C-alpha cells in the first residue's frame, strides 16, 4: 500500500552505509525530485549519511518545501541533525541517537521516547527503534492501527 523511492545523494549507484550495509538507490535525488511531492520524506540514520544530508542544499530545499506544505518529514538516529542544519521543524518535539541530545535541544524540545511524533515531524532514536519508527509512519500515512498486521508479522505485538 505504500510506494517507496530510495534516492541517492550522489546518483543511483550503490551506497555502502556506516555498518557495511549496501543500499541500491532506485534513482538519484535529482531524478526523484522530479516526482515530488512525496507523502513523506524519510532521512535514514548513520553519522556519515546524516552529515551528507546536512551538507546537501538540494536536501535542504526539499525538506523545507515538504515542511511548508505540511507534509510528513521523518528522521532517525543521527538524521535529525540534518533537520537542524536545514532549519526544519524548529521548536517541535523530537528525539535522536542519544549523543545528539545536547546539540538538538538548543532548537527543539528533546524527548527520550523511542519514537516522537509532533504534527508533521516523526523522529526516532536508532537501529533498535527502526521498526517502531516505520510502523508509526505507516499508521500516519494509512490510518491509525493500519500497521497492526505488519507489526504482528514482525512479532512486535
Q: Which residues are catalytic?
A: 77
| Cell 511531492, residue located | 37
Q: What is the dihedral of CA 71, 75, 81, 87, to 10 degrees?
A: 0
Nearest to 62, CA basis, from 28, 81, 27, 86:
86
Please give the C-alpha separations between residue 147 and each of 54, 91, 132, 137, in angstroms, as whole numbers. Answer: 30, 29, 10, 9
Amino acid at each position: 500500500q505504500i510506494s517507496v523511492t530510495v534516492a541517492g545523494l550522489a546518483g543511483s549507484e550503490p551506497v555502502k552505509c556506516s555498518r557495511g550495509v549496501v543500499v541500491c538507490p532506485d534513482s538519484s535525488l535529482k531524478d526523484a525530485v522530479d516526482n515530488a511531492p512525496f507523502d513523506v520524506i524519510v532521512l535514514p540514520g548513520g553519522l556519515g549519511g546524516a552529515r551528507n544530508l546536512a551538507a546537501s542544499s538540494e536536501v535542504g530545499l526539499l525538506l523545507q518545501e515538504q515542511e511548508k506544505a505540511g507534509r510528513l518529514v521523518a528522521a532517525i538516529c543521527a538524521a535529525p541533525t540534518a533537520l537542524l542544519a536545514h532549519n526544519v521543524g524548529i521548536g517541535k518535539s523530537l528525539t535522536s541517537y542519544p549523543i545528539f541530545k545536547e546539540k538538538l535541544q538548543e532548537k527543539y524540545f528533546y524527548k527520550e521516547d523511542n519514537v516522537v511524533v509532533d504534527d508533521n515531524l516523526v523522529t526516532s532514536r536508532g537501529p533498535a527503534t527502526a521498526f517502531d519508527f516505520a510502523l508509526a509512519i505507516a499508521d500516519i500515512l494509512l490510518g491509525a492501527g493500519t500497521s497492526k498486521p505488519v507489526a504482528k508479522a514482525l512479532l512486535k505485538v
